[in-house]
């Protein structure tokens, strides 16, 4: 209803959106790549970003490289997590760190349940997190899902989002069914009922 107010709001949002620094970066072979960044340098960036953003996404956390600064990996990760926690609390910013599962060549293409050693990263991340979201890629499955305000229906899906409670988080063990709607775009199909409920 107020165009001037909308423009002001847009500029406030625009000021909080940071551009992806790795976009259109290419190596000497012309291949797109994401450069690694030292833990200490990332903390300095976060001091700037978190001061003006509500949410910061680090994707992927495996590009935070301890080899660029030297020292023991677990000590650097722990120091980074402590710094990250202090920045998040002092700026009231939500920080989402995205990791990827390790290559699962040991299963020779067979589908197997994810195990803790499939997750990239160390226990330092676990101690910092309140929630872990894990998007599981699998063959098409059928499950009973709750949608809307309690309606249940059978859904077929190829992706499952697992929500794990860690430390002070809530909502332990939730599962959400997702599937593709067009191209790479996915839609939530509903909350999956556990077999033992």
Contacts of 181 (CB under 8 A, 6+ apart): 187
What's the token pair of residue 103? 């290559």
Nearest residue to 175 via CA among 145, 140, 139, 196: 145
- What confidence tier does 62 reach under pLDDT thresholds 50, 70, 90? confident
pTM, two decimal places:
0.58
167 vs 189, more confident: 189
Answer yes or no: is pLDDT of 196 > 50.
Answer: no
182 vs 83, more confident: 83
Token look-up 């229906």 returns 153
């Amino acid at each position: 209803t107020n165009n001037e107010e909308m423009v002001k709001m847009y500029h406030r949002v625009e000021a909080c959106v940071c551009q992806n620094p790795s976009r259109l970066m290419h190596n000497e072979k012309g291949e797109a790549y994401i450069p690694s960044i030292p833990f200490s340098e990332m903390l300095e960036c976060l001091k700037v970003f978190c001061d003006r953003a509500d949410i910061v996404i680090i994707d992927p956390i495996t590009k935070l490289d301890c080899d660029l600064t030297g020292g023991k990996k677990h000590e650097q990760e722990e120091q980074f997590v402590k710094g990250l926690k202090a920045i998040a609390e002092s700026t009231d910013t939500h920080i989402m760190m995205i990791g990827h599962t390790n290559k699962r060549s040991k299963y020779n293409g067979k589908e197997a349940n994810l195990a803790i050693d499939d997750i990239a990263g160390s226990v330092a991340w676990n101690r910092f997190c309140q929630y872990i979201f894990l998007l599981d890629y699998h063959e098409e499955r059928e499950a009973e899902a709750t949608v809307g305000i309690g309606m249940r229906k059978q859904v077929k899906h190829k992706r499952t989002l697992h929500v794990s409670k860690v430390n002070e988080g809530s909502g332990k063990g939730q599962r959400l069914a997702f599937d593709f709607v067009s191209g790479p775009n996915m839609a939530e199909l509903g909350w999956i009922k556990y077999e033992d409920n």
